[in-house]
Structure 1
Amino acid sequence: MKRDPSLSPQAASEPQAPHEPLGPDDPLALAPAPFNPYKGNRGLTRAWHALKNSINGFRVAIREESAFRQELTLAAILVPCGTFVPVDAVSHVLLVGSVLLVLIVELLNSSVEAAIDRISLERHELSRRAKDLGSAAVTVALVLCVLTWALIVGPLAMHWLGR
């Protein structure tokens, strides 16, 4: 019976050579990413740069995205209401969290749209699909928010109205 040389202890510790070299169109053969001065930061420096980038993101969203401004206005009304509604702590988290989720999904949708517009402004089926999927995600978040508020605050409102 012949013994397989790849099962030897030396073969297990030696790295396997690739069977063929990577071609120029192989995604693994791409050049390394350009130097990013923020990737080397650690600890508080990294957190500080991340906070500055986040604040810039909020500024851009408020300045450039009307849907985000509308949802932010709604959040400015609903978040305080959600904290003062006489319900248990979990319900407070659900009320406020559902509103914040809408803002999160809107920011992600806006970033997808900006990236697609950066690539090309020409009409393309895949660009349309990506933008439509982002819009659908915002709609799902809005429906979740409405359902959460209706199920938690709805019965209280009915009781307050005397029905």
Structure 2
Amino acid sequence: MSEFNETTGLTRLFRAFGYSLQGFRACYQYEAAFRQEVLVALFVVPLGFWLGEGGVEKALLVGSWLIVMIVELLNSAVEATVDRFGPEHHKLSGRAKDIGSAAVFLSISFAVMVWALILLPRYL
């Protein structure tokens, strides 16, 4: 790539932001799990800000669900990459998809644990 084609500064930031929006749109359009997690976020994020006592609790409650969405984005990227190479089954492709799914499961488990550890002692 020549030095004249490289972008720096604000131009690079604006383009990167545009690519990020394209990624959000694509994941929302093609991934049902991500759509479901966005719907949960519409409820959980405001609730986390409301129920959290202090900045740390708010960050943990809200952030734990944002981690779920981040992991889902990464899992969807892995799945799209695997699918790009063809629909035929290969054990490594299946393993990659299973590992991505396990990561999503662990992130959801983490979010549930954070919410439980913060809120259950307060309300029991």
Common fold by TM > 0.5: yes
**Structure 1 residue 86: Cα displacement:** 4.6
Match of 1:142 in 2: 108
- Larger RCO of the pair (alpha carbons < 8 Å, separation 6+): 2
Give the Cα separation in 2 of the matches to 1:147 and 1:153.
10
Calculate the TM-score normalised by the size of structure 1. Answer: 0.72
RMSD (CA atoms): 1.7
Identity of aligned residues (%): 48
Check if 1:85 corresponds to 2:62. no
| Deviation per residue, 1:12-60 (Å, 9 max, x gap) | xxxxxxxxxxxxxxxxxxxxxxx59xx7111111111111111111111
| Deviation per residue, 1:73-103 (Å, 9 max, x gap) | 1111000000011512111111111000000
Deviant stretches of 4+, over 3 Å: none
Check if 1:75 corresponds to 2:41. yes
Match of 1:63 in 2: 29
Count of residue correspondences: 123
Unaligned 5+ residue runs, structure 1?
1-34, 159-163
Match of 2:91 in 1: 125
**Structure 1 residue 156: Cα displacement:** 2.4
Q: Which amino acid is 1:59 matched to?
A: R
Between Structure 1 and Structure 2, the one with more helix by share is 2
Give the Cα separation in 1 of the matches to 2:61 and 2:52.
12
Change (3 A) 1:131 1:40: same
Q: Which amino acid is 1:128 matched to?
A: G
Give the Cα separation in 1 of the matches to 2:123 and 2:43.
17
Larger Rg: 1
Unaligned 5+ residue runs, structure 2?
none
Matched residue of 2:16: which SS? helix
